[in-house]
């Protein structure tokens, strides 16, 4: 990292711009759906998260598959070209359909641009500092989510839901594209690492389904990533509505919406380096367990200070898992497949947004917001249990191999195999 600090620092800054594009919607888009477009059902309001999640998931997958073919920098630039129209569409939208189109483009922007910065940072730092690199990367992205969530909520309170919050987005998109022009591609770093690797260290090939489920460690990481973003989609789409129903102002809603990613972002400065030193299974288990407990507690909370505390704890739980996810996928994947494995993981992780929005929207319409919170909290606790039962802490010299097809899916429940 020291030798490549200029390039690394530029990528950190660019990822902050990527995160800021999502933060723009965190505080105000659910309220915009209700107040300006008169959407009533929760599932209709959450439709923007469904299309965002599906598009981002697909973009993540192809970003991983194309990273070695067309170059990391080209993917980054393409991501920002998709992002440029997003704030303009939200600013001028005469109907909810425009918002849906904007979120398709936002999903492409996030999938291609964020994936590119992740892969390039992994390329730059080498195997010993990947947790630190991912901590810095994800910290910058989610601190920017927090900052723009707070700023857009404040602007909406002072000047209305439109147009001023979206002027901020125009600046972020232009800055991200211009900064990306200065980036150098990192494929040469991958070639150098491969040339210096010991003979036979590449390991066996991993299929899509190995990364998705069959490999015990990679499968555990992938399911946890999906559930993590499932509950993040709930917080993004329904928490502002839950808080509004309790009489909180837009500024208060924006503050709660900002505290969560702020702690998430800052916490990764600590948890990223921890992922290089501690067992990744432990970090993932405790992080998912904390998230699930917080989501269940939110259903019984009414006081504004309590929501601030719970938002901070939710951010801490997410900070434990987020850089660990990516560091684990990089560690457990053969070098030639690293970018592709990251793409497969991010495909499933961000599919969680779409699954979460559909699931929680239907549950909220049928049973209420509290029931949706409880259901997602329970799923998050189940995800922690899967990690505890199935994932292992391999020795540094242990080869990473796909799990046999007949391997028991849950190590602590062998009878289920």
Give residue 401's pLDDT: 45
Residue among 258, 188, 193 nearest 25 (CA): 258
Looking at residues 408-413, what average pLDDT do you find? 53
Give residue 64's pLDDT: 74
Contact 177, 84 (CB under 8 A): yes
Looking at residues 211-217, what average pLDDT do you find? 94
Contact 380, 227 (CB under 8 A): yes
pLDDT band at 407 (very low <50, low <70, confident <90, very high): very low
Query: Which of 318-322, 342-346, 363-367 shows the lowest per-residue confidence on average (mean pLDDT)?
Result: 342-346
**CB atoms near residue 76 (< 10 Å):** 29
Mean pLDDT estimate for the chain? 88
Give residue 417's pLDDT: 35
Residue 329 to residues 8, 127, 274, 340, 375: CA-CA distances in angstroms?
Answer: 20, 12, 16, 10, 28
Give residue 414's pLDDT: 45
C-alpha to C-alpha distance for 263 and 121, rounded to whole angstroms: 22
What is the total residue count of the chain?
Answer: 417
SS3 76: helix
Give residue 197's pLDDT: 60
Is the pTM above the cut of 0.75?
yes
User: What DSSP assignment string belongs to 112-173?
Assistant: IIIHHHHHHHHHHH-GGGHHHHHHHHHHHHHHHHHHHHHHHHHHHHHH-SSSHHHHHHHHHH
Among 43-57, 166-180, 250-264, the range with the most confident prediction by mean pLDDT is 166-180
Structure tokens at 104: 């398709």
Structure tokens at 414: 């062998």
pLDDT band at 415 (very low <50, low <70, confident <90, very high): very low
Structure tokens at 343: 């793409």
Structure tokens at 291: 């998230």
**CB atoms near residue 12 (< 10 Å):** 18
Domains of the chain: 5-184+207-411 (1.20.1250.20)
């Amino acid at each position: 990292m020291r030798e490549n600090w200029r390039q690394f620092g530029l990528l950190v800054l660019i990822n902050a711009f990527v995160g800021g594009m999502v933060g723009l919607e965190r505080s105000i888009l659910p309220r915009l759906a209700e107040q300006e477009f008169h959407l009533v059902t929760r599932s209709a309001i959450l439709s923007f998260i469904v299309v965002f999640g599906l598009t981002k998931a697909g973009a993540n997958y192809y970003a991983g598959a194309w990273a070695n073919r067309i170059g990391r920098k080209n993917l980054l630039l393409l991501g920002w070209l998709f992002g440029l129209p997003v704030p303009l569409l939200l600013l001028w939208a005469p109907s909810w359909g425009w918002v849906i189109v904007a979120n398709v483009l936002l999903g492409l922007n996030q999938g291609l641009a964020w994936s590119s910065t992740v892969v390039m940072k992994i390329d730059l730092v080498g195997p010993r500092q990947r947790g630190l690199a991912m901590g810095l990367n994800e910290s910058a992205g989610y601190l920017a989510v927090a900052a723009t969530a707070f700023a857009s909520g404040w602007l909406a309170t002072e000047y209305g839901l439109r147009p001023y919050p979206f002027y901020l987005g125009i600046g972020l998109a232009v800055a991200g594209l211009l900064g990306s022009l200065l980036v150098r591609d990192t494929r040469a770093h991958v070639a150098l690492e491969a040339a210096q690797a010991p003979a036979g260290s590449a390991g066996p090939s991993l299929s899509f389904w190995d990364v998705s489920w069959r490999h015990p460690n990679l499968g555990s990481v992938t399911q946890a990533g999906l559930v993590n973003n499932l509950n993040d989609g709930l917080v993004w789409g329904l928490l502002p509505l839950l808080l509004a129903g309790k009489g909180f102002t837009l500024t208060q809603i924006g503050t709660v919406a900002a505290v969560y990613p702020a702690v998430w972002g800052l916490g990764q400065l600590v948890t990223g380096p921890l992922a290089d030193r501690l067992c990744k299974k432990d970090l993932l288990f405790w992080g998912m367990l904390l998230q699930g407990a917080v989501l269940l507690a939110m259903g019984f909370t009414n006081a504004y200070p309590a929501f601030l505390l719970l938002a901070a704890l939710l951010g801490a739980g997410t900070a434990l898992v987020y850089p660990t996810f990516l560091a684990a996928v990089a560690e457990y994947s053969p070098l030639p497949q690293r970018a592709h494995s990251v793409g497969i993981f991010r495909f499933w992780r961000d599919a969680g947004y779409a699954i979460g929005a559909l699931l929680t929207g239907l549950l909220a319409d049928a049973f209420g917001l509290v029931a949706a919170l409880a259901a997602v909290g329970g799923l998050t606790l189940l995800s922690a249990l899967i990690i505890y039962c199935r994932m292992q802490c391999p020795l540094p010299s242990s080869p990473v191999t796909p799990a046999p097809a007949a391997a028991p899916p849950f190590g602590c429940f062998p009878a289920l195999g």
